[in-house]
Structure 1
Amino acid sequence: MSVQSQAPSLLDAQEGASITIVSPVDGTEVGTLPGTAREQVALAVSLARTVQPEWAATSPADRGAALRRAAAALRDGARELAELNTRETGKPFSDSLGGIEAGISTLEQYAELGPVHRGLSLRGAVTATDYTVAEPRGVAVLLTPWNDPVAVAAGLIGAALVTGNTVIHKPSERCPHVGELLGRLLQPSFPDGVLTTLTGGAEVGQMITMETDVDVFAHVGSSATGARIARAAVLTGAHVIRENGGNDPLIVDADVDPVWAAGQAALGAFANAGQICTSVERIYVHRDIAEPFLAALTEEARTRTASGSFPPLVDRRMRDAVDAQVSEAIRAGARCLAGGAVPEGPGAHYPATVLADCTGTMTVMTEETFGPVAPVTVVDTFDEGLRLAAAGPYGLAASVLTGSIAHAQRAIAGLAVGTVKVNAVFGGAPGGSAQPRGISGAGFGYGPELLDEFALVKVVHISSPPQGGA
């Protein structure tokens, strides 16, 4: 366990099971961290509850100033944290550093947004006023992922703290060293107990979700875990914010350049070895351009794999799961045009893989793969591609490559997802936000709207007393 506060009762608590991390890059040991015992979880929640009223009474401007100090501390430790992230998760150093820089920017953004987070007013009678006040929910538990551990955590931490909540952060058990160091960098900017980091396995997350004195859970990770958290919160009454798994489709229309479209598909499917929440998970390409598209996509995959800089999967457990989906698809009739086999050597590497002739019964098309796999189905019409893309229980994001405004508008209307991207698989304006749907989650996960998720609205009505006496 890592506890980023000065509370002796937490530091002296009995430790739980330890976690040892092996680098997916070369198989060497990164290190071992102690886990967290049930008593420590309860103590962390109790401390967060105890100090929360004083933190809530701190002015939004002072809370924002604390976030700016935290952002500066994160900037000072950026290279060390990026190097550790690369060792622990396999994320390329430049991408790791980019994620940390995004986290710094997000902390600074919430430092500015927090003090101007305002309510609404409504005028009734001339002598009366109605307005709303945003108040913190209380104790917030943040459960964050390994694929972009600093950027995601910084966003949730920043929004929760600047709105007056105290925070218990549980980083993924796949990157506990990154989470522990992040906590050590950020915690000194806040009063004791305002920000606490707990490391440990899935059992620690389960312990936290059983705590009845938590007011809000924010979870970024798998849909199965998110569903368990949501069910547990029904019993405790906690508010839940979830950005969970996706099975994001890409529709490639007949009127686009197939080589350009293949480049977009490769970026969406292979960036960070396919380990991005909004990675392209399944592709529907129009028959008119399918042949050149598949040829260009295959070349993209082979080039990336042979580059010497293609990142590994986070661990061999994840690699086994990805390879199982690929092998199942091949047995069911998919053609493997590139990749598709576990390489020899240390680490958790897996090649960029292209599968053609995929069908809707294959797991690689129906579930989140979270690996460098581009499964492709050829369709005869745009509407067929749209119908197939809209199927399934996920609702995170979708992409459409088309030169037709009519087709783009039909896709925007017909895809029940939180984000529709037209002619770019990644991107978006700074400060953007989205609401996942279906089993992909619920609530706003980023942007100014995230401040509302961490706040409760109080309505105030003020009237003038009667004039004169009896």
Structure 2
Amino acid sequence: MGSLESPKFYNIINGEKRSSAKSHQVTDPRTGQPLWDAPIASTQDLEEAIEAANKAFRTWGRTTVAQRQDALRKVVGVVNSNQAELAEYAMRETGKSSLMGQIEIGNTGRQIEAIIGQALQDHVQHEDDKVKVVATHPPLGVVGAICPWNFPVILSTLKIASALITGNCCIVKPSPFTPYAVLRLIELCVPVLPPGVLQAVNGGADLGALMTTHPGIAKISFTGQTSTGKKVMASCASTLKKVTLELAGNDAAIVCPDVDVAEAVTKTSTGAFFNAGQMCVATKRIYVHEDIYDDFLDRFVAETREKFRIVEDAGVPTIFGPVSNKLQYDTVAKVIADAKQRNLRVETVDADKVPPNGFWVPATVVVNPPEEALVVQEEQFGPVIPILKWRDEEDVLARANLDNAGLAAAVYAKDLARAESLARRIEAGSVYINTFELPNENAYFSGMKDSGLGGEMGKQGLLSYCYTQSLHFSKV
């Protein structure tokens, strides 16, 4: 492989490392400097990967659950024994601190272990004196995993482990913004999995489009922007692929007047600025009751100034960093510019200490913007958070529930009955009570409205990676 100073990366096809005629480089978000060459898979590379996956599926699809669990435990071993290297690549390509890189890779192994324990078993759906009906879960075939850039390893392995534990083969296309750690991980897995079971092809939107229309792929699992997800779904329709789409959210947090304000500030600020707000389920709008608004706002701004500072040294343990790529940097800058053009109160941390290079956006709080402001209406996916005021429950629910998004939300209240009542009326796939949004690998994760189709995680998530076949045993 080479040292971390001059590593080599490969597409992985049929158990072999594959170089390419074309390559691209990722920009280090902390410094603005180019990183390493990443191979760009050709159309022929993809064709060969699909052929190899379908060939491998003939055997892999007939393995037992226990055999697949054993294989995935070996993958966990690969992740755990190469944590330092994988964390370094993830850190460099995303702009995370070393702490955040370690958190991502450490959680990756634990997530795969959880999926191993969720493996689907046959079960009796119905039985009477005439018939017994047993549900089985045969695999689909080849899964194409089109993966995002914010947490490249853990979100890729979520799709990989879900596909493999259900008996599918998997072809992974990492984000072209963050290809390194995923390509290296799949290279490291070559010795522990049969050829063709897990492969990697790196490329851009054109390669993803080929995956969505290819008849040799049975399912696409995609995480990314809603506009792209709609294109994926339309393309998959030509071959009636199964589709899982985890798309954009614009998560609202509702803070009730009976909360411990200091505690609510700590949790909501973490939800907003963890990984510089670059999480699908980051808190993106905070609605605070008018009775505590001023106190909450003062504490929130003070805590933000204390905890979410710009730190250029990636070795310093911090959960805040730069925006991960220029495209997203421009999106966040547009949101902040809109707030300033509206003459809104904008509180910025370290505004005078922004490094000249890299994609740094200081932690930013927009005070009580109107609902039509971009920071309220659009998912910013970066370190800028609006804090809005509310008085009436029906009003705040109407504002929190958007027409075009419903991924996750949070409610903070000491009165748990009130919190649950609010949570049940929020139109989002996951609602978190008295904590910031943090998916649990044992809980189904899906979005409402334009935030997705289908879902991942938990046994319900695994059902989307297979058919359900009903066996009817007659007793008469």
Normalising by structure 1, we get a TM-score of 0.93
Please say if 1:329 is aligned against 2:332: no
Q: For residues 206 and 21 of structure 2, what CA distance do their matches in structure 1 show?
A: 10
Letter in 2 for 1:415: I
Letter in 1 for 2:12: Q
Q: For residues 455 and 11 of structure 2, what CA distance do their matches in structure 1 show?
A: 28
Residue 120 to residue 226, structure 1, CA distance change in 2 (3 Å): farther
SS in 1 for 2:12: coil
Please say if 1:109 is aligned against 2:114: yes
Q: For residues 455 and 331 of structure 1, what CA distance do their matches in structure 2 show?
A: 50
What do you get for the CA RMSD once the two structures are aligned? 2.1
Q: Tell me if structure 2 keeps the 8 A contact 1:417–1:437.
A: yes
SS in 2 for 1:230: helix
Match of 1:468 in 2: none
Residue 405 to residue 110, structure 1, CA distance change in 2 (3 Å): closer
**Residue deviations 1:181-239, cap 9 Å, x none?**
12112232111111110111222111211212211111112112211111111221011
Residue from 28, 36, 39 that aligns with 2:33: 28
Residue 165 to residue 6, structure 1, CA distance change in 2 (3 Å): closer
Pairing of 1:30-179 with structure 2 (within 5 A): 30-114=35-119, 117-126=121-130, 128-179=131-182
Report the CA distance between 1:307 and its aligned residue.
Answer: 6.0
Q: Tell me if structure 2 keeps the 8 A contact 1:117–1:451.
A: no
Letter in 2 for 1:385: V
Please say if 1:3 is aligned against 2:11: yes
Match of 2:474 in 1: 463
**Residue deviations 1:338-368, cap 9 Å, x none?**
2496924221111110001311111111111
Report the CA distance between 1:250 and its aligned residue.
Answer: 0.9
Residue from 407, 414, 428 that aligns with 2:418: 407
Match of 2:330 in 1: 320
SS in 2 for 1:88: helix
Please say if 1:234 is aligned against 2:244: no
Match of 1:424 in 2: 435
Report the CA distance between 1:134 and its aligned residue.
Answer: 0.8
Residue 193 to residue 2, structure 1, CA distance change in 2 (3 Å): same
Match of 1:270 in 2: 273
Q: For residues 246 and 123 of structure 2, what CA distance do their matches in structure 1 show?
A: 26
Report the CA distance between 1:337 and its aligned residue.
Answer: 1.9
**Residue deviations 1:165-196, cap 9 Å, x none?**
01001111111111211211223211111111
Letter in 2 for 1:318: Q
Residue 189 to residue 220, structure 1, CA distance change in 2 (3 Å): same
Q: Tell me if structure 2 keeps the 8 A contact 1:221–1:243.
A: yes
Q: For residues 258 and 338 of structure 1, what CA distance do their matches in structure 2 show?
A: 21
More moved, 24-33 vs 60-69: 24-33
What 5-or-longer segments of structure 1 have no aligned partner? Answer: 466-470
Q: For residues 179 and 439 of structure 2, what CA distance do their matches in structure 1 show?
A: 30
Letter in 2 for 1:439: D
**Residue deviations 1:403-432, cap 9 Å, x none?**
233431331221111111111113465522
Residue 152 to residue 408, structure 1, CA distance change in 2 (3 Å): same
SS in 1 for 2:31: coil
SS in 1 for 2:234: helix
SS in 2 for 1:62: helix
Residue from 348, 361, 378 that aligns with 2:372: 361
Normalising by structure 2, we get a TM-score of 0.91
SS in 2 for 1:154: helix
Match of 1:398 in 2: 409
Q: Percent identity?
A: 28
Q: Tell me if structure 2 keeps the 8 A contact 1:340–1:353.
A: no
Q: For residues 77 and 83 of structure 1, what CA distance do their matches in structure 2 show?
A: 10
More moved, 195-204 vs 305-314: 305-314
Question: Matched residue pairs, number?
Answer: 460
Report the CA distance between 1:370 and its aligned residue.
Answer: 0.5
Match of 2:5 in 1: none
Please say if 1:348 is aligned against 2:359: yes
Report the CA distance between 1:46 and its aligned residue.
Answer: 1.8
Pairing of 1:189-200 with structure 2 (within 5 A): 189-200=192-203
More moved, 266-275 vs 395-404: 395-404
SS in 1 for 2:359: coil
Report the CA distance between 1:241 and its aligned residue.
Answer: 0.9
Match of 1:387 in 2: 398
Residue 7 to residue 252, structure 1, CA distance change in 2 (3 Å): closer
SS in 2 for 1:337: strand
Q: Tell me if structure 1 keeps the 8 A contact 2:365–2:387.
A: yes
Match of 1:254 in 2: 257
**Residue deviations 1:364-421, cap 9 Å, x none?**
1111110011112212233322221113310100011112334313312211111111
Residue 97 to residue 431, structure 1, CA distance change in 2 (3 Å): same
SS in 2 for 1:455: coil
Q: Tell me if structure 2 keeps the 8 A contact 1:176–1:199.
A: yes
